[in-house]
Amino acid sequence: MYPQNLAPIPELYVSYDSAQKLKVEAADLVSHDLTPRQICDLELLMNGGFNPLKGFLSEEDYDSVVENMRLTDGTLWPMPITLDVSESFADSLEIGQDIALRDQEGVILGTMTVTDRWVPNKAREAEKVFGADDDAHPAVNYLHNKAGKVYLGGPVTGIQQPVHYDFRARRDTPNELRAYFRKLGWRKVVAFQTRNPLHRAHQELTFRAAKEAQANLLIHPVVGMTKPGDVDHFTRVRCYEAVLDKYPQSTTTMSLLNLAMRMAGPREAVWHGLIRKNHGCTHFIVGRDHAGPGKNSKGEDFYGPYDAQDLFREHEAEIGIEMVDFKHMVYVQERAQYEPMDEIADKDDVTILNISGTELRRRLSEGLDIPEWFSFPEVVAELRKTKPPRSQQGFTVFFTGLSGSGKSTIANALMVKLMEMGGRPVTLLDGDIVRKNLSSELGFSKEHRDLNIRRIGYVASEITKNGGIAICAPIAPYATTRRAVREEIEQFGAFIEVHVATSIEECERRDRKGLYKLAREGKIKEFTGISDPYDVPENPELRVETENVEVDNCAHQVILKLESLGLIAGQ
C-alpha cells in the first residue's frame, strides 16, 4: 500500500473511448465558451486538483462555502468555484440540461449537467471571501466588472485536458506528480507556492524548509492567472529553470500549476494547502501576507501579515498538510549569508541588507545594478530581457475629458514633440480616427462606447507591448472601462492617464461642431456631460487645465511628467 499522499486520487475524466463518443454527441449540445479563468478552474476540477469537488458548486454548496468555508456535507473548502455566465445565456438553459464546455478555440474540454442556476449576492461574496467589498481588490473588481451576472452549478464530465503549448514537460496532473513521488520513493514533500521570480532569499528559504521538514522540495509556481502587474509566466518559468540547477537534483523538482489565483489571503492559503495535498505534498510553505493583493482603497493592506498563517494553522489537521512558516530572510553582509530576521541575535552589530519587490522593480526599470547577493545573474538576465529600462519600454498616454475639452489638440502636439525626440514609433489613436478605421459600425450607446474604448485599449496594449508609444484621446467617460484598459496595458508597459479638466461651460463655449447645442435640444441622446455621466478620474497621473493655457504648454506638462517617470530620457 502507498502512503495516503501518494495513492491515486479520483479524476473527472472518462475513458478514451467514452471521450471520443462524447465528443460526437456534444456537437448537438449548447456550448459555453470558457473564459481563461474558467479554463484554469475546469482543468483543476477535471484532474483532481480541486478534489473532492465533482463540478461547479451548487447554490447550496456555494452559500455554505461563502458563509462557513465548507461544503454542505461539512468538508473544508474555502473558495467558491462557480461557472459565471451572462443572463441571456442562463435564460436559454433548462435545469437538467447538458452543456458543452469549450476553450476559446472551440475545442470541447468537458460537459456539465446544469443542476443549479442563480443570481449570487456578489457584495456578500466579496465581504466573506475577500474580506471587503472593495474594487481595489483584483478579484472583487473581477467579480463586479468582468464575471457574468448568473452562476451555474452542476457536475462535470471531463473529455480532455486544456491544451498548453508551453513548458509541456513541466506540467503535471496531481496523479502524475504522485506517481513521480512514488517512483523516486519521496515520502515527504514540501511545496513552495510562488508567483514571483526566485531570488537567493527564496532559495535559502526553500532549502531551510525542506531541511526542517526532512522532506523533498516541490517548487510549484502558479502559471494560470495571478495579479495584474505580475511578471508574465513565460519569463518567470525561464527564471525558475535558470536556477533549478542550484538545487540538489535528487531532492528537488519543479512543476507548473495552472491555477487562477484569487489573491484571497487567508482563505487562499487554506485553498492552496488543499490543492497541494491533492498533488501529493505533505508540507506547505505559507508566506507572510500569503497571496495578498496589496493595498485597499484607503491605502492599507487587505490582510494582516500573519492572517494567512493563523487561519492555516487553525485548519491544519483537517487540510491534512503541515504548514512550514515562511521566514523573513535577510542578507547579513559580514557573514555573507542569508539568515532568518528573527534569529539574528547580533542585529545591532551587523549590516543587514534587503531589497524589496518595489526596489527591485525600480532598479530594473531604471537599468540600475542588481547585486549578486540578492539574485542570480541568470535570473536578472531573464528579467532584463522582458523588462528593459523604462526609457526603452513602450507606454500609453491616455487622455480623457469632455467633448471639446482639447484632448485631440494636446494629443497632436504631444505626438509631434515625441516624434521630434525620436527613438520609438509614436501612434495617435484619436477618437475620430478610431471611429473611422476601427469602429465605423458602432453607435453611441453606452455599450458601443465601451466597446470602442476597449478596442482603443487593445490596440494601445499591442503598440506598448512592442515598444512603441500609443497616444489615445477618446472621451472615455466610464471609470470601470478606463481601469480595464489600464490593466490590459500595464501588463506590457506604463499607462499614463491625463485628465483634460476643462469645465463643461468652457467646452460648450468652444463647441466647434455644435454638438452641445444639439444635445441640449434633445437631438443627440446620451451625450456625455449633458444627458450621460462623466466619471471624473480620481487619481490620474496628470490633470491638465486648458482654460487660458496654450496648447504647447499643456503638451509640455505631459512631456515633463513622462520625464519624471523615467519614460523618456531628460533633454
| Euclidean distance between CA atoms 286 and 326, whole angstroms | 6
| DSSP-based three-state secondary structure for 200 | helix
Calculate Rg over the CA atoms of the chain.
Answer: 26
* Cα dihedral sign, 194-198-202-206: positive
- How many other C-beta atoms lie within 10 A of the C-beta of residue 355? 18
* Cα dihedral sign, 213-216-219-222: negative
Q: Is 465 annotated as ligand-binding?
A: no
DSSP classification of residue 230: S
> In the block, which residue shows the cell 435640444?
521
Grid coordinates representing 215? 522532506
Catalytic residue ranges: 194-196
Q: Is 408 annotated as ligand-binding?
A: yes
Q: Is 375 annotated as ligand-binding?
A: no
| DSSP-based three-state secondary structure for 473 | strand
Q: Is 401 annotated as ligand-binding?
A: yes
Q: Is 561 annotated as ligand-binding?
A: no
| Euclidean distance between CA atoms 54 and 229, whole angstroms | 33
Q: What DSSP string runs through 271-315? A: HHHHHHHHTT-SEEEE-TTTT---B-TTSSBSS-TTHHHHHHHHH
Q: Is 564 annotated as ligand-binding?
A: no
Q: Is 153 annotated as ligand-binding?
A: no
Q: How many Cα atoms are found within 13 Å in the side-chain-facing hemisphere of 550? A: 3
Q: Is 439 annotated as ligand-binding?
A: no
| DSSP-based three-state secondary structure for 512 | coil
Q: Distances from the Cα of 322 to the Cαs of 22, 217, 286, 556, 565, in angstroms? A: 40, 14, 10, 58, 45
Q: Binding site residues, as ranges?
A: 401-408
Q: Binding site residues for ATP, as ranges?
A: 401-408
